[in-house]
Structures are given as structure tokens and as C-alpha cells.
Chain A
Amino acid sequence: MPIINTEPIDPKVYRDMGLNDEEYAEVTKVLGRHPTYTEVGMYAVMWSEHCGYKYSRPILRLFKKYREAIDGAGLENAGVIDIGDGFGIVMKMESHNHPSAVEPFQGAATGIGGILRDIFTMGARPIACLDSLRFGPLDDPRNRYLFEHVVGGIGFYGNCVGVPTVAGEVYFEDCYSGNCLVNAMSVGLMKHEDIAFARASGPGNPVLLVGSRTGRDGIHGATFASVRLDEESEGRKSNVQMGDPFTEKLLIEATLEALKTGHIVGIQDMGAAGITCSTCETAAKAGTGMRIDVRKVPLRETGMSPYEIMLSESQERMLAIVKKGREDDVAAIFKKWGLNAVVIGHVTDDGLVHVYDGDELVAQIPAKSLADEAPMYYLDAEEPAYLAKLQNYDLSSVPEPKDYNEALLKVLAAPSIASKQWVYEQYDHMVQTNTAILPGSDAAVLRIRGTRKAIGIVTDCNGRYCYLDPFVGAKIAVAEAARNLACSGARPAGVTDCLNFGNPEKPEAFWQFKRAVEGLAEACEFFDAPVVSGNVSFYNETPDGSIYPTPVIGMLGVLDDTEKRCSSEFKDAGDVIALISGPPVGPPPVGRGHDVPAQLGLGGSEYLKTVHGIVAGRPPALDMDREKRVHQVVLKAIGKGIIKSAHDCADGGLAVTLAESCILGAVGADVKLTANCAPAAALFAETQSRIVVSVASENLGALREIVDECCVECTILGKTGGNVMRITVNDVEVVSVAVKDLESTWRDAIPSKMALSSS
């Protein structure tokens, strides 16, 4: 009983759903007829950039593991990072930018829910969440409102489901006003043999819909994510889903219990594009088809059309394909946890997704055409005109500050630099009792019970660097993440990414995307941290312009011995403070981004922006080989128990790094710098490949041995002690501030801004 529909769909209808005329023509070609209304909706959402990656796929092939997986056995196995002892880690990061910009609380909450489901559908227990957030300046009440409620939504969801939120980052820049970035990451732990697949294998096997009832929330959320935000976006709140973390918690426990029975042959969560996506993707992966009846779907509203049921993005739902005859056993487990579990159809062998509304066939689509055959576009890339001008900005005209103390306090009070305690105190970061290094250090560390091992996790991206040079900026994101892990005692093991960019149909934005991915791919290979999963978020634009290119990465590291971990605060008075950095001599690195000595690293710095209001210059140069050797020194020194603290030198420069180690350790420091540059550059340049360590003086010799072995440089900066941080540059005292004043400035910056009313 095939569908014979001779009525063409009104172009206004399919264009509103997000399909262009060529894509509509392609649909009619695939089907051999005009589509039904339900079918147009299904194609529109599956062929959106959000689901179909129609613009990004060609570029993502730059990632080695992605390329191998697509050409080979698929992405699932490739997504598991082996950490030894029979354990694997799965991790993924995803954007919820658009929903959060119009409905921050639910937008952020459902971002957490979605990324958690991605993890436990693979058979892994979620053991950690991280969040990478970006907002406009907090002086604007709208930005305070977004910040307050995004953090609130993350806490609401994450705290309830009992997964600790252990790390992340928050940046504030003008370009994120009106288009905040909410990137949620989750990490799961599994025994290798417990991996579950999103495949609808075995024709005749029943298909179960489990979890929440289906409502009208979130219809066309994926399409919404694939257009620019504008004045009308406020009216799209109905595109935003509502989160129910209580049901998610039950779903986690029920799913992991049900997977243990071995009766589930395939399982996929329902996020973007809901039932449409989960049915066609699981069928396409197994080379099968599926027949479902939307009337069997438990609904929370009356009068829902097949179109609405197929496209609803109601949260906390999963599709499970079960061995024939075992559906009651599996359903019983979900019912024990108080959840729905209803057979809505079965697997077929014809490669088609048949959607019935009772007896009436409303859609009949080749599964692969929806899931795998979204049109692919090779877009033009063109270097943006602003770039040359900004990169060649003459930084030598920037005056020295009148008062370095004041400049330092100003940088410490910049919300991007200041303490994020206001944020992470609102997240339960200790539940599951594995968090061995709490938020606020360089990377979070979680022990793996039953082994000596631990993992380190961190997110990273400096959008300003990427704006000034997406290739170098992306490489620095990887290098800095690896550096944060090294400071905690972990070596890199894998990366997930969340690539936030503007409208890819603009050649300048696509150029930024392409260059950033090239940088990420190169650096991830160099640091032996394959990209195992990822997400692309385009159209991060408002009528005022595009965001900075923001390729956020989440990096996993492994510590072979949990006891050999390190944190960033100075531990005792009287310790030697040393800077581990690249070799002092040797040929200068060549290539783009290196031909100018980067104004000794002031380009793109927080200091330039905060103190002088300048966003210009080239980001600091990066020599990856040098970087890796610095990590090796610190890892070896931590492994041998030689150093007491390690903190990476990054945003804000050396002065900020020292201040943070002083504040967190509640101890002062006396530091003497020798520099061939002005004091501002010595204090605030964000020169890469540097780590500040503290070491008991009797261990200095042992540290030097490791430093020599790895051919890097170790500069003695001074000593810890007292309650004042003093820094001289070339024997002139430039900084002298009581640690308690550094601390109050750094800790109070965000709370005091958030005490102002928000809109």
C-alpha cells in the first residue's frame, strides 16, 4: 500500500521548515513522488545542518579517527577511549546555544539531559559533566539574566540526576551578547564488553519507546538551531524543550539495568528530531527498515498530528530495539522504575521507515536517505578582511600602565579571569564520591574505583585567539588543555569537540571554521589525543554580528596512579617557585603566526583587552614540540613526587598564574623576573608552553635533572612565603599586593556583578 501523493507541497511550507528548493527537488527524486506533509517535516529536520552536518562533513574528515570511522566500522566503537584495566571512557560535548539564548534555564538544562543520554545509551554510566559557557559582558542586565539562568538550569538538571559537574570554563566577550554559548559535555565509564549499539538489527524485533510521554515541546528544535538568532527568536520559545531530570535519573538506572539483561539489541536516545531521527538512524546503521504506528506513542497532549509526534523533541525518551519475545522482560524493568515502555513497531528488512497513523500510512521513506544522505555542500572559504588589519596592529604604541598593581587587580577582576566559585558552587561536584581534585584547579581528577588509575578532564578554548588566528587559536586550545592535564598529572588520551561558528554560508565564517578544524586536527594528532566525538554549531550570529570562532575542546587524560596527582595552589611557605618553559636557544619557529615575535605574547591578551580595550595582534606563537616537552617535565616531576604544585600560564599571563597559586594556597610570594621586554609584557604576556611549579628547595636538583633530560628551560622565579605577592622586573619592584587583596578582588568579581539585578 504505497503512498501515492500527487500534490506538490507549497514552497512556503517547506522553506519555512528549512528546506531549500533544490533540497525539495532532491526529496521528490528520492521518493519518486511528492512527499506528504509529515515526510517534508522529517526531511527538513534530518537534513538540517544540526542533524545532517551538510556543511561541516567535508571539513570534519580532517579528523583522522572520524575519517577512519566513517569509512570503516562506524563511529560507535571509535568513540570509546581505552584506559586499560578493561575500562573504556566515552565522552561527548554538544551545544545548546540557540535554545539557551531564548530560554536559558530550560535551554541549558536540556543540554545536560541530552548529552547524558548520549553517554548512557552507549552502555556507560555518566560519571562527570563539564560545561563551557560564554556570555556577553555582565554590565548588561540581559547577559546577567542569561548567565544566572544558564547556570541555574545546569545545576537544576545535573544536581538532580546525580552526576557531578566537575569542570568547565566561562568567558565573557561582547560578541556573545545575544548569542551565548552553552556547550555541555558528559563523560561515561564502561567495561568494554558493555558497549551498546544504536542499531535496529534483526527484522521482526520489536521497537520500544521508553521514558517520558511525547508532547508538543521542541518541534523543529533542530531546524531552529540551524538559523541565525534575531528579534523573532524570542517568539520561538516553543521550540525549546522542557527538562525533567527526575525522569532522566530513572531512565539512567533503568537503561543500565535493562542493558545488563542482554535482551536489547540496539538503543538510541531521542534528542534532536525525536522519533524521526532515532528510527531512521538505527535502521540505516543496521541496513534495515522500521515500521511504527504513532498512535501507540504515549502522548501528554491530545490531538497531536503524526507530523507533531514524529518531530517532537520531548526529552527523556529512548528507542530500544529488543530481541523478539523479550519485550515484556525489558518493559518490566522500565516499569519498575516508573517509566513507560511501549512497543510502537518492529524492525523490517526493506530499508524503509514506514510511519502509520493507525491504519493510514503517512510516511514511507528510505531510512538511509534520511540518516546518511543529507545533501553535502562544499562551501567557499575566504579569509576575512578584518584579519590582516588586526594582526598587523602596532602593539608597540600601547603605553605601559601607570600602576602595575592596579593593572593586575583589573585583570584579576575581569570576569573571564576571576574565580568561578559562584558558578561551580551551584553544581554538585562531589556526588558519586570520586572527585579527587575539585573544581578550581587546572583540571578535575576523578579516580576509577577498582583500579589505581584516575582520569583528568578539562575543557578549553580561547575565542579571542581564534578570532585573531583560527588555526593557531585552535592549536592553542589543544595545547592548553594538554597543559592543564599535565599540571594535574595526566597524559592526554582523547578529545571531544564542540565547534561554534557563525553562518557557514558566509565564506569568511566558513574559512574560520576550516582553519580552526585544520588546527585542531593537527594538534590533536601531535598530542596523541584523537578526536572521538563532536558537534558542530553554526549560525551563531545576531543582527549585530557573529561570535568569535569558538572551537571548544574537551580533553581526557589518564593518570596511571591516582596518588601521583597535583593541584595548582602553592602548598607551603619557603618553597622555590620555578617556571618550566621552552628551550632558550634554537632557531625561531617559522610559519604563519610566528613571523612577528608576537609582541612578546601580548597579542590577544586579557591585559590588552581589559586594561587598554584593545583586541588585536597575533595570538601567542605555539611550538608544539616545545610544548610537549614542557608537559613531559611536569608529568615526570609529579610522577616522582618532586613538585608540590603546578599551574599553567595562560589567560592573564604569568602575573595572574602566580596570583592564583598564591590565593588558592593562602601564601605570598617573592618573585624576581629578568626580562628583555617592558614590565607589562613580562607580567601579562600569554606566552605559551609555560608552567609555574613550586618545589621544596632540596628537590630542586632532581627537578633540574628532569629539565635537562627533556631539553627545556627551568627559570627560578623566587620563593613562596609571607602574605604579600611581590614581583620585580629587572630589579624594579612593579607588583606588591597583599594576598588577601588579590583574593577578594578575584573572588568577589563575579558575585558582586551578579548581585546587581538582572532583567
Chain B
Amino acid sequence: MKFGVVIFPGSNCDQDAYYAVRDVLKQPVEYIWHQETDVSGFDCVILPGGFSYGDYLRTGAVARFSPVMNAVQEFSDNGGRVLGICNGFQILCEAHLVPGALIPNNTLRFRCKYVNVRAENTTSDYSHKCAKGQVLKIPIAHHGGQYYCDPDTLKALEDNNRVLLRYCDPAGNVTDAANPNGSMNAIAGILNDRGNVAGMMPHPERAIEPILGSADGRFILQSIVERLEGCKV
């Protein structure tokens, strides 16, 4: 089993994701340079957070055209697992690997803080370690994290259990006050229709050890590890 962490110019959570996989989860991991054209040797590819190409245009709009994204597309078409975190989620949306868009926060400001998210789908490769409705404490750090899509897409996401995480209060209630960016249906993370590609705005790699304030991010990342190992369902 091998994880890959893509480095786009301007990625800045690449080293954090790498550290979380290698040093905390103790799993093999390698960096993938944005000019790579083949990622088939990996089992899970992580698109990390950051400001790819500066994100001076729309977030993720330039990165989706980098060579590695063709390879990631092919990889996911073949059923490979792809996790996009924050800027990685934005890139996945731009590349149409997951539906919808991430528009500027309704506060119009960057927000960095711990939030609570409720595990909705608890059978996916990215969440089967969570109990149904389990509340995870995981931080966000973004300016453009408001999830938006058309009504049909939203219905498809909800009807097919493709909402992975939803912003909530500490008790698990979905409220306007607990929604940090105005996302539709308080969506914090989603799956593609096959369930092998996931995008999320919260940073599980930041909530990876108690010293950082929470280790709840392990529920996400360890889900992937165990699914890849095939040892637990």
C-alpha cells in the first residue's frame, strides 16, 4: 500500500499530509510532483491544501490543468482513491471529479478555527471508522469553502448518501450558527458517485494528534488505511 501526496506550486499542506501518513499512521507515502504524468503506482492520492498557483484566479482553476491532474483523472476512472483536502477539494470540483463548486465564504473572510462536523456517510472508504452521526472536531482554514451546487446535484448527493461530513454544533445539531461558511445543507465533505473520490474542506491531517487539539482526523485517514488493507470493514 502506498499513499501519494501531490505537490502543486503553492501547495502548503503537502508536508503536513505527508507527516500525518508517514509519522502518525506509519504508512508508506511519497510526494508526487505536479508534472508527473502517471500515478498508477499509488493506492491513494491526496491533493493537499494550500494556494495552488497562488489561487489568484478562482481557487483550483489553474491547478486542474497541471499534468498530474490528467493522471489523477485516469487513476480515479480506474477506481483509485483520491482525497482532496481544502484546496485539494477545490481542485477536485474544478476538475469535475466531484460535483459542485466552492465559492467564497459567506463571511467574505478567511476563517481558521476548529469546527465540529458530523459523519453522515459512515460506510465509505473515508469514513467507515466513524459511528453514524459521530461528531468530529477538525479545523478549517479557508477563504473559499462555501459548498454550492444546483438543486438536482444536491438531491443526488443527499439521496445517494454522498454527503460525507456536515458542519454541526458540538452536540451534532446542524444549525446556521455552526455553519462557518454558508455551505448548502452545511456540507463539509462529499463523495463522487462511485465513492472512490472524496473532497472535504476540514483538514483531517491537522487533527491528527492530541497535542494539536484533536486526533479526530484519524477517523478519516485511518478509514482509508484499513479499507486499503482490506482487513476491516
Residue-by-residue, is A143-159 near B (CB-CB < 8 Å gives 1, otherwise 0)? 00000000010010001
Question: Which residues of the other chain, A, contact B19 by a CB distance below 8 angstroms?
Answer: 433, 449
**Which residues in A have their C-beta under 8 angstroms from that of B139?**
430
Contact B51 A425 (CB under 8 A): no
A436 to B211, CA, bound (A): 6
Decide if A160 is an interface residue (CB 8 Å cutoff): yes
Interface pair A160/B51, CB less than 8 Å apart: yes
Contact in complex: A245, B54 (CB < 8 Å):
yes
Given that A160-B54, A249-B51 are known contacts, is A562 also in contact with B112, CB under 8 Å in the complex? Answer: no
A159 touches B9 (CB 8 A): no
Closest chain B residue to A422, Cβ basis: B109
Specify which of A152, A246, A425 is in contact with B111 (CB 8 Å cutoff).
A425
Question: A426 to B110, Cβ gap below 8 A?
Answer: yes
Docked CA distance A436–B10 (Å): 25
Q: How far, in whole Å, are A237 and B56 apart by their CA atoms in the complex?
A: 22
- 1/0 per residue, CB under 8 A from A, across B176-195: the answer is 00000000000000000000
Question: Do A426 and B111 touch across chains, with their CB atoms under 8 A apart?
Answer: yes
User: Which residues of the other chain, A, contact B203 by a CB distance below 8 angstroms?
Assistant: 430
Task: Check if B42 is an interface residue, CB within 8 A of chain A.
Answer: no
Q: Which residues of A contact B209 (CB under 8 A)?
A: 433
Instruction: Report the separation of the CA atoms of residues A428 and B209 in the bound assembly, to the nearest whole angstrom.
Output: 18
Q: Would you call B205 an interface residue if the criterion is a C-beta within 8 Å of the partner chain's C-beta atoms? A: yes
Contacts of A337 in B (CB 8 A): 9
A246 contact from B16, B20, B56, B113, Cβ within 8 A = B56
User: Closest residue of chain B to A148, judged by CB?
Assistant: B109
Q: Does B99 sit at the interface, judged by CB under 8 A?
A: no
**B-contact bits for A138-178, CB 8 A (1 contact / 0 none):** 00000000000000100100011110000000000000000
Contacting A at CB under 8 A, from B34-61, are: 49-51, 53-56
Measured in the bound complex, the distance between the Cα atoms of B10 and A338 in whole Å is 11
Query: A162's closest neighbor in chain B, by CB?
Result: B12
Specify which chain B residues have a CB less than 8 angstroms from the CB of A250 in the assembled complex. Answer: 9-10
Give the residue name and chain of the A residue nearest to B143 (CB): A159
> What's the minimum C-beta distance from B110 to chain A, rounded to whole angstroms?
5
A159 touching B141 by the CB < 8 A rule? yes
The yes or no answer to B15 lying at the interface (CB within 8 A) is: yes
Category for how many chain B residues contact A: 20 to 34
Please report the C-alpha to C-alpha distance between residue A161 and residue B139 in the assembled complex, in whole angstroms. Answer: 18
Instruction: Tell me, rounded to whole Å, the shortest Cβ–Cβ distance linking B101 to chain A.
Output: 21
A686, CB-defined interface residue at 8 Å: no
A105 to chain B, nearest CB (A): 13
Q: Mark A266-291, 1 if CB is under 8 A from B, else 0.
A: 00000000000000000000000000
Given the contacts A160-B10, A160-B54, A338-B9, A155 and B110 also touching, CB distance less than 8 Å: yes
Q: A425 contacts B113, CB within 8 Å?
A: yes
Residues in B with CB closer than 8 Å to A428 are 110, 112, 141
The answer to whether residues A431 and B113 also contact, given A160-B54, A562-B211 and a CB cut-off of 8 A, is no
Residues of B within 8 A of A95 (CB): none
Asked if A120 is at the interface of the complex by the 8 Å CB criterion, the answer is: no
* Interface residue B208 (Cβ < 8 Å from any Cβ of A): yes
Please state if A426 and B112 are interface contacts (CB–CB under 8 Å): yes
- Chain A 432-453 per-residue mask, 1 if CB under 8 angstroms from chain B, else 0: 1101101000000001010000
Q: Are B9 and A432 in contact (CB under 8 A)?
A: no
Chain A residues near B13 (CB-CB < 8 A): 162, 431
Chain B neighbourhood of A307, CB < 8 A: none
A306 and B205 CA atoms in complex are apart in Å by: 49
Interface size on A, residues (CB 8 A): 30
Q: With both chains docked as a complex, state the minimum distance between the C-beta of B19 and any C-beta of chain A, in angstroms.
A: 7
Interface residue? A244 (CB, 8 A): yes
Which residues on B sit within 8 Å (CB–CB) of A161? 12
Q: Is B28 an interface residue (CB 8 A)?
A: no
Beyond A160-B54, A249-B51, whether A431 also contacts B212 by CB under 8 A is: no
Whether the pair B9, A160 counts as a contact (CB closer than 8 A) is no
Check A427/B112 contact, CB under 8 A, given A246-B51, A433-B206. Answer: yes
Q: What string of 1s and 0s marks CB contacts (under 8 Å) between A402-443 and chain B?
A: 000000000000000000000011111111110110100000
Q: How far is the CA of A244 from the CA of B141 in the complex (A)?
A: 20
Q: Which residue of B lies closest to A436 (CB)?
A: B211
The CB with the most chain B CB atoms within 10 A, among A337, A433, A435, A438, is that of A433
B67 within 8 A of A: no
Interface presence of B213 (CB below 8 A): yes
**Known pairs A431-B141, A432-B16, A436-B212; A426 contacts B109 (CB<8 A):** yes
Query: In the complex, which residues of chain A have a beta carbon less than 8 angstroms from the beta carbon of B15?
Result: 432
A246–B54 contact, CB under 8 A? Answer: yes
A447 CA / B209 CA spacing, docked (Å): 12
Interface hits, A85-135 → B, CB 8 Å = none
Query: Complex: how many Å from CA A426 to CA B140?
Result: 11
One of B50, B56, B141 near A430 (C-beta < 8 A): B141
Whether A425 contacts B10 in the complex (CB less than 8 A), given A430-B139, A431-B141, A436-B212, comes out as no
By a CB distance below 8 angstroms, the chain B residues around A155 are 110
B107-121, CB under 8 A of A: which get 1 and which 0? 001111100000000
CB distance from B17 to the nearest CB of A (A): 10
- Supposing A246-B53, A436-B211, A436-B212 touch, asked if A430 and B206 sit within 8 A by C-beta, the answer is yes
Chain B residues closer than 8 Å to A244, beta-carbon distance: 54
Q: Which residues of B contact A152 (CB under 8 A)?
A: 109
Interface string of B202-231 (1 = CB under 8 A from A): 010110110111000000000000000000
Contacts of B53 in A (CB 8 A): 246
Top 9 nearest A-B pairs by Cβ distance? A162-B12, A246-B54, A160-B51, A428-B141, A433-B16, A428-B112, A426-B110, A155-B110, A436-B211
17 extra interface residue pairs, beta carbon distance < 8 Å, beyond A159-B143, A246-B10, A562-B211? A152-B109, A159-B51, A160-B12, A160-B55, A245-B54, A246-B53, A249-B10, A249-B51, A337-B9, A425-B109, A426-B112, A428-B112, A431-B206, A432-B16, A433-B16, A433-B205, A433-B208
Q: Can you give 8 A-B contacts (C-beta < 8 A)? A: A155-B110, A160-B12, A246-B54, A250-B9, A425-B112, A425-B113, A427-B112, A431-B16
Binding site for B on A (CB under 8 A): 152, 155, 159-162, 244-247, 249-250, 337-338, 424-433, 435-436, 438, 447, 449, 562
